[in-house]
């Protein structure tokens, strides 16, 4: 071998040695997560337990699989009283008393499907239970606001919320498959389910027609999928006919709480109106189930683009490993993590609010530790309806005309040239 060839070979060996040392360093970075990850409950891992719970629920209602797979049956049989819940879940007397007392002031309901995801043997620790069953903590919150987002003062037309120059919300219903205890619009729960009046929807559409700067419309509620197929078809058709509306979005938690709502008939309607985006709200890996995957598969096959808007919730997902697992599970069912919302200071929900530092810690341990596709944007909604504000760990430490000092995901600091060219 020539001297030149030997030098090149030696150089390659040195490079490989450097690469191997770097690979070992990276393996150490993820070793703790790999150990913890095995104990994180997911809807896929605990599907058999949920199936056993399903049988128990079906027996209670005297129903069968045909009923279970019918979304209207799921809505009709939503559990909304402590007696029914206690008969299915074996609640202790203290919890029965607390729910009965809370129920006098708070509306709640859980679809049989979502109920089946609870760990019946350890329900008080279940992220599903905590999101769906009322707590006395909700009654003790007297300092927060019913409408911290200022939706009632950013409402220029019936059913419209407008906080940005080129997009707005149409609020079409107060109905949901279940009523999240952390809901930002819990003031709208009321005593009964009600959809927007047709004349109000017409007025909202007319407002959009008269404001050509509106290019993006989000139809939400409540849950937009609680509308009938016919109403969804009509509303999307009307929006599609407005030339300046480029993007149509639907806000729904149905893939999470009542996936039976995603039917072939609904998907045929949605397929007619591209581009169509749906943002849903998975908050726990336990919510990513085979049933949720089937619903998301059907939506994707109908041409819908799926995103997730998780809410950072104390005791449910305020853990960097749980949030990472959630986002990775979502990608497996073709749902792109979009936002992590810092929980809003809505009256009755402040026991769910984690410190902002916790959100920043989670974001710090997503960047670099998992694929970029699994990293949403952490958002705090500015009070009074002033919109979403991204909040991120600091990666730019200083910046001037000569250089930028950056901190990597591992905490290493580098000086990077800043090329500022004068014209």
Q: Place 170 in a pLDDT band, splitting at 50, 70 and 90.
A: very high
Identify whether the C-beta of residue 248 lies closer than 8 Å to the C-beta of residue 240: yes
Percent of the chain with pLDDT over 70: 93
Place of tokens 């029965």: 96
Could you give the C-alpha distances from 81 to 86, 133, 139, 172, 285, in angstroms and in order? 9, 10, 17, 26, 27
| Three-class DSSP category at 172 | coil
Q: Place 413 in a pLDDT band, splitting at 50, 70 and 90.
A: very high
Mean pLDDT of 86-110: 93
Q: What confidence score (pLDDT) does residue 2 get?
A: 46
Q: Looking at 67-76, 187-196, 389-398, which range is the least confident one?
A: 187-196
User: Does residue 263 surpass a pLDDT of 50?
Assistant: yes
Residues 6+ apart with CB under 8 A from 336: 305, 306, 307, 308, 330, 373
Q: What confidence score (pLDDT) does residue 46 get?
A: 97
CA distance 28 to 42: 25
* 404: enclosing H helix or E strand: strand 403-407
Choose which CATH entry (3.40.50.970, 3.40.30.10, 3.20.20.70, 3.40.1000.10) describes domain 151-390. Answer: 3.20.20.70
Of 336, 423, 410, 418, residue with least CA distance to 372: 336
User: Does residue 14 surpass a pLDDT of 80?
Assistant: yes
Of 174, 92, 102, residue with least CA distance to 132: 102
CA end-to-end distance (rounded Å), the chain: 53
Mean pLDDT of 185-210: 86
Q: What confidence score (pLDDT) does residue 383 get?
A: 80
Mean pLDDT of 8-18: 81
Q: How many CA atoms lie within 13 A of 57 on its CB side?
A: 26
- pLDDT, tens digit, 9 for 90 and up, residues 284-315: 999 999 999 999 999 999 999 999 999 999 99
CA distance 22 to 379: 33
Q: What confidence score (pLDDT) does residue 188 get?
A: 65
User: Does residue 133 surpass a pLDDT of 60?
Assistant: yes
Q: What confidence score (pLDDT) does residue 6 get?
A: 46
Exposure string of 197-219, with b = 16+ CB inside 10 Å and e = fewer, is eeebbeebbebbbeeeebeebbb
Average pLDDT, the chain: 92
CA distance 190 to 192: 6
- pLDDT, tens digit, 9 for 90 and up, residues 199-219: 999 999 999 999 999 999 999
Q: What is the pTM of this model?
A: 0.92
User: Does residue 159 surpass a pLDDT of 70?
Assistant: yes
* Residue length of the chain: 423
CA distance 340 to 330: 13
Q: What confidence score (pLDDT) does residue 142 get?
A: 72
Identify whether the C-beta of residue 345 lies closer than 8 Å to the C-beta of residue 353: yes
Mean pLDDT of 399-420: 89
3-state helix, strand, coil in the chain (%, to 5): 45, 15, 40
User: Does residue 193 surpass a pLDDT of 90?
Assistant: no
């Amino acid at each position: 071998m020539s001297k030149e060839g030997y030098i090149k070979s030696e150089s390659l060996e040195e490079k490989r040695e450097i690469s191997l040392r770097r690979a070992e360093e990276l393996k150490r970075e993820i070793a703790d997560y790999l150990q913890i990850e095995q104990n994180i409950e997911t809807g896929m891992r605990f599907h058999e337990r949920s199936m056993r719970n399903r049988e128990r629920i079906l027996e209670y209602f005297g129903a069968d699989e045909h009923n279970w797979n019918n979304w209207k049956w799921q809505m009709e049989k939503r559990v909304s009283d402590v007696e029914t819940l206690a008969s299915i879940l074996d609640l202790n007397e203290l919890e029965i008393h607390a729910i009965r007392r809370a129920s006098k002031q708070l509306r709640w309901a859980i679809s049989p499907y979502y109920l089946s995801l609870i760990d019946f043997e350890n329900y008080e620790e279940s992220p599903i239970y905590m999101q769906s069953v009322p707590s006395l903590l909700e009654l003790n919150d007297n300092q927060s606001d019913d409408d911290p987002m200022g939706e009632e003062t950013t409402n220029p037309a019936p059913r419209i919320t407008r906080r940005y120059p080129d997009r707005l919300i149409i609020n079409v219903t107060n109905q949901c498959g279940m009523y999240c205890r952390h809901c930002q619009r819990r003031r709208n729960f009321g005593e009964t389910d009600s959809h927007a009046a047709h004349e109000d929807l017409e007025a909202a559409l007319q407002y959009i027609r008269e404001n050509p700067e509106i290019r993006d419309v989000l139809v939400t509620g409540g849950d937009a999928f609680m509308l009938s197929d016919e109403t969804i078809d009509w509303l999307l058709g009307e929006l599609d006919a407005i030339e300046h509306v480029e993007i149509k979005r639907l806000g729904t938690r149905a893939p999470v709480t009542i996936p039976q709502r995603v039917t072939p008939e609904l998907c045929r309607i949605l397929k007619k109106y591209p581009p169509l985006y749906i943002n849903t709200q998975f908050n726990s890996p336990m919510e990513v189930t085979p049933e949720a995957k089937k619903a998301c598969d059907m939506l994707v096959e109908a041409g819908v683009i799926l995103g997730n808007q998780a809410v950072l919730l104390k005791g449910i997902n305020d853990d960097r490993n749980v949030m990472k697992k959630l986002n990775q599970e979502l990608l497996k069912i073709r749902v792109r993590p979009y936002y992590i919302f810092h929980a809003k200071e809505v009256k009755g929900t402040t026991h769910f609010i984690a410190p902002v530092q916790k959100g920043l810690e989670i974001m710090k341990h997503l960047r670099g530790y998992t694929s970029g596709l699994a990293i949403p944007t952490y958002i705090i909604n500015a009070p009074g309806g002033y919109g979403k504000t991204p909040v991120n760990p600091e990666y730019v430490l200083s910046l001037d005309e000569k250089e930028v000092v950056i901190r990597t995901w591992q905490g290493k600091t580098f000086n990077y040239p800043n090329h500022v060219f004068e014209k």
